[in-house]
Structure 1
Amino acid sequence: MQLNKRSLDNLVGVHPDLVRVVHRGAETTSVNFIVTEGVRTLARQKQLVASGASQTLNSRHIPGGPANLSHAIDVAAVVGGQVRWDWPLYEKIAVAMKLAAQLEAVPIEWGGDWRSFKDGPHYQLPWSSYPG
């Protein structure tokens, strides 16, 4: 699949290693997706925490590090032109993204692998490799 303009726009300001993974993942996925968010402001993060959609203000979406880049993205599965939130779709996207990360030699973390707050749309570069 090809990333649409909205997805490409939402990758502006995201660390180039993660951008490479997203492009490669889009090439290999069995489920179409869009990138819904890359760079996020602290004000937006506070809104998400207040609504329960996030649990931290220390988000990898908020730009940081020497280059002031975001280290996270969120995606949404698209089926028949409609955004879908069915968990199995996100597991399939994760397979493609993890393979893409391996092929690009870029470590990533998928929010769906987290123990306490499962976040299927979320991918980030790990703090240990990208302290930003």
Structure 2
Amino acid sequence: MSFRLSNRSRARMKGVHPDLVAVVEAAIALTPVDFIVTEGLRDAKRQSALVRSGASRTLNSRHLTGHAVDVAAVVDGHLRWDWPLYPRIAAAFKTAAVRAGVPIVWGGDWPRLRDGPHFELDRRHYP
């Protein structure tokens, strides 16, 4: 089954680096689990609020520069946060990124504070 990005997901990628947008658009066609984009570019005020609430641990987020997106799995029309869905979505992102020649980092691969919904452009190639 091939999924498509909603207009809302596309709008949430406004200001996101075009290389990452291309990866997201390719990943939606590859993924076995539907997803939406929940957040792309953030301003410092929003990032500070996320740190205060404990939803983020850094004021130096890649979202601030348009180098990151967060997604949410959608199953039977409902948002789902259970972990087993996110490696399946990540596999589609990683395949799309390799095909596009765009190095990405998945938050689910981080050794501490794994963040399954988070994808960002690799800092080594996109400072």
TM-score when scaled to structure 1?
A: 0.93
Partner of 2:115: 119
Deviation at 1:51, TM superposition (A): 1.2
Q: Which residue of 1 aligns with 2:72?
A: 76
Match of 1:89 in 2: 85
Runs of 4+ in 1 over 6 A off after TM superposition: none
What corresponds to 2:50 in structure 1? 48
1:28 aligns with 2:24: no
- AA matched with 1:112: G
Structural RMSD (CA) = 0.6
Which residue in the other structure is 1:19 paired with? 21
Give 1:52 shift: 1.2
| Matched letter for residue 125 of structure 1 | L
Q: Which runs of 5+ in 2 are unaligned?
A: none
Count, aligned residues = 125
With normalisation by structure 2, the TM-score equals: 0.97
Gaps of 5+ in 1: 64-69
Provide the C-alpha distance between the structure 2 equivalents of 1:2 and 1:126, rounded to a whole number of angstroms: 25
Identity across matched positions, percent: 58
Equivalent residue letter for 2:12 = N
